[in-house]
């Protein structure tokens, strides 16, 4: 937990610092002359708050008693499976635009169901096709969301 807290505080602090540097270059109230604060003020204030909180969290975590410091496993069977899933989904969204919703989603569903449910291939395919088509039809025809407006075959 201690390590996780420190990483979280570090990431937030880095983002906060970066944003302050970026926003410092934005026009200020004086440039507008109407009394309106410049676009940089708000991000700077919020980033500064985030930096302060990150420092507080880091201090608390370092002082954290050892018995409270539970270990969070980040590399085991379960989490590895999650990372692979994330990878597949990123690949899926990347090809979504080219393959279109129906093909890409059917394949994605088939991969996951084949992996998780370990059913017969024909059932796996059947489930993925039905699921994809139901979602497609509900959104495309009932809700009028143009799911079928991209992809090589335009569906």
Q: Is 20 a residue that touches other proteins (CB under 8 A)?
A: no
Q: Is 32 a residue that touches other proteins (CB under 8 A)?
A: yes
Three-state SS for 76-114 is: CHHHHHHHHHHHHHHHHHHHHHHHCHHHHHHHHHHHHHH
Residue from 17, 64, 95, 131 that binds other proteins (CB under 8 A)?
Answer: 131
Residue from 17, 64, 95, 139 that binds other proteins (CB under 8 A)?
Answer: 139
List of residues 6+ apart from 65 with CB closer than 8 A = none
Q: Is 19 a residue that touches other proteins (CB under 8 A)?
A: yes
Cα of first residue to Cα of last residue in the chain, in angstroms, is 46
CA 109 – CA 106 distance, rounded (Å): 5
Q: Site map for other proteins, 89-128, x if CB under 8 A?
A: xx-xx--xx---xxx-xxxxxx-xxx-xx--xxx-xx-xx
**Footprint of other proteins on 54-73 (CB under 8 A):** 54, 56-57, 60, 72
Nearer to other proteins, 65 or 146 (CB): 146
């Amino acid at each position: 937990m201690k390590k996780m807290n420190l990483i979280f505080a570090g990431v937030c602090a880095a983002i906060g610092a970066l944003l302050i540097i970026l926003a410092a270059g934005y026009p200020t109230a004086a440039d507008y002359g109407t009394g309106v604060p410049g676009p940089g003020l708000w991000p700077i204030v919020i980033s500064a708050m985030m930096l302060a909180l990150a420092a507080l969290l880091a201090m608390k975590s370092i002082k954290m008693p050892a018995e409270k410091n539970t270990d969070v496993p980040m590399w085991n069977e379960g989490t590895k499976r999650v990372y692979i899933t994330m990878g597949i989904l990123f690949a899926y969204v990347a090809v979504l635009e080219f393959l279109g919703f129906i093909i890409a989603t059917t394949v994605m569903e088939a991969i996951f169901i084949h992996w998780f449910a370990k059913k017969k291939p024909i059932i796996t395919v059947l489930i993925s096709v039905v699921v994809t088509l139901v979602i497609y039809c509900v959104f495309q025809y009932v809700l009028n969301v143009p799911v079928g407006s991209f992809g090589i075959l335009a569906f």
